[in-house]
């Protein structure tokens, strides 16, 4: 099992953060502008783990050189079933330097947006304290 998948499935936020490059760019499924940097990305991912229920990866896809991965997941948020995919790119040191998330359906994306919006003050504090 890929170390990122294992860290997320074990809800090991320290291990997830250790896999992030300092200059990682996180592209959210519900925010227009990407977030740059390890501190904010790690804080967002901790927030996601707080709002997702019944999270599990159902498929892992990797390119032959191992630098690009897609992790398909299911979860629920706010009573809505959600399907999504984490698209990760790894730099030369094996750290995630690009992290894009896509989710469906729209009703679940809206529930995720609301749940994460409620978390964002805490996320901002966590990122500033890093």
Three-state secondary structure string covering 37-67: CHHHHHHHHHHHHHHCEEEEEEEEEECCCCC
Q: Supply 84's token pair.
A: 């999504």
First to last CA, the chain: 29
At 59 the pLDDT is 96
CA-nearest of 97, 110, 68 to 85 is 68
pLDDT of amino acid 55 = 94
20 burial class (0-12, 13-18, 19+ CB within 10 angstroms)?
A: buried
pLDDT at 1: 83
pLDDT score, position 65: 85
Under 8 Å between Cβ of 74 and 41: no
SS3 128: helix
Looking at residue 81, what is its pLDDT?
Answer: 96
pLDDT along the chain (130 residues), means of 10: 92 96 96 94 95 95 92 94 97 96 95 92 89
């Amino acid at each position: 099992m890929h170390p990122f998948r294992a860290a997320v499935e074990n809800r090991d936020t320290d291990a997830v953060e250790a896999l992030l490059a300092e200059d990682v760019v996180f592209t959210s499924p519900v925010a227009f502008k990407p977030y740059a940097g390890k501190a904010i990305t790690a804080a967002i991912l901790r927030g996601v783990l707080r709002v997702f229920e019944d999270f599990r990866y159902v498929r892992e896809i990797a390119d032959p050189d191992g630098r690009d991965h897609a992790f398909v997941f299911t979860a629920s948020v706010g009573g809505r079933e959600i399907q999504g995919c984490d698209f990760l790119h790894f730099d030369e040191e094996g750290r995630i330097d690009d992290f894009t998330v896509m989710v469906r359906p729209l009703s679940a994306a809206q529930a995720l947006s609301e749940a994460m919006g409620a978390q964002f003050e805490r996320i901002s504090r966590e990122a500033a304290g890093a």
